[in-house]
Copies of this chain bind each other. A is one copy, B any other.
Amino acid sequence: MPESGEQFKNLLRQNGLKVTTQRVAILEVLNNRPGKHLTAEEIYDYVKKKYPDIGIATVYRTIQVLSELSLIDKLNLDDGYVRYEINKKGKEDTCHHHHHLICLECGNIYAFQDDLLEALEKRIADTMGFEVANHEVKLYGRCKKCRGK
């Protein structure tokens, strides 16, 4: 995807980062696996196929910068790995796509969106005087596929 490559170069430039092969490659790996949540090691392995010289340290450093800029999102499933997915929505909207359904049987992760959460936030603000800036919601259970079996 040469065009997505160009897109990522601009994205990097817009955020004041130098454009390097490694950074673009990492963004492309994440972009080519929408809905997938990759660990640092997985990203490393994928990028290595194209650029065998990359070091794991670069992956970690890049991930950190991209995460701070909200170009990618973190997901922690408490299994010892932190996972990352590309954030296609951009900075402003970062607070509304951290909702995940995690299937305990097949391990698949599904995203979902629901305005009930916003209603919930409003209620929290009212009853507890707490101003919600961001949230993280994880629902564990069994997905449709696994239930069908």
Contacts and interface: CB of A to CB of B under 8 A. Distances in A.
Interface of A: 74, 76, 78, 82, 101, 103-104, 110, 112, 114, 116-117, 119-121, 123-124, 128-144, 147
Contacts of A112: 124, 128
B147 A129 contact: yes
Given A101-B130, A129-B144, A131-B147, A139 B114 contact: no
Given A112-B128, A132-B139, A135-B138, 13 more contacts: A76-B76, A78-B82, A104-B133, A114-B123, A116-B119, A116-B120, A117-B120, A129-B143, A130-B144, A134-B140, A135-B140, A136-B140, A137-B137
A124 B139 contact: yes
Contact of A130 (B116, B133, B136, B142): B142
A120 B121 CA distance: 13
Contacts of A129: 143-144, 147
A143 to B, nearest CB: 5
Contact of A133 (B110, B114, B132, B141): B141
A93 to B, nearest CB: 16
B121 A131 contact: no
Contact of A139 (B74, B135, B138): B135
A110 B138 contact: no
